[in-house]
Amino acid sequence: MHRNQRYSSSVRHPLPALAAAASIAIAVAALAGCGGSPKQAAKSAPTAQEEAYLQNIQITPGRVEAAKNFLNHTVTTVHGTLANNGKKAVLYVEISLTFSDIEGKPIEQKTAALVSGNTLPLKAGETRPFQVSFDKVPVMWNQAPPRMAPKRVVLAGE
């Protein structure tokens, strides 16, 4: 082709079409996400049905481990099992963990989401192991597994 000759106007570059397609895909994905996630639902007020369903969530404490991480900080990991003894799938489960002192008096309470948008829903009748790690625990903690109780649940289809 001669250097003064221009490309024909009938030649189209794929870049603008790809950019438009990507923009549409991002918009569709954003709109699909507006339906509400378990995280968003967990921030809303619980329904009466969800409050009542808490009795179907069973937490069995397991062992407690302490280990040093790569920064030489102690990380405490609490193990246990979580069971859904009800008849509905659960999208979100938050528990409270109460650490006690040597006399058994509560000294600190923490929360942890065991089922969330980052995990599969907990099906009706399902039991699964969990572990929760903390980089800071109370100094006066008695080293026993903390008392654990379900705090918040979001049911599938709510």
Q: Where are the domains of the chain?
A: 40-155
Give 68-121 pLDDT, tens digit per residue. Answer: 888 888 999 999 999 999 999 999 999 999 999 999 999 999 999 999 998 999
Q: Decide the pairing of beta strands 127-134 and 74-84.
A: antiparallel
Structural contact between residues 84 and 90, judged by C-beta atoms closer than 8 angstroms: yes
May I ask the CATH architecture of the domain 40-155?
A: Sandwich (2.60)
Contact residues for 72 (Cβ-Cβ < 8 A; gap 6+): none
The residue with greater pLDDT, 20 or 137, is 137
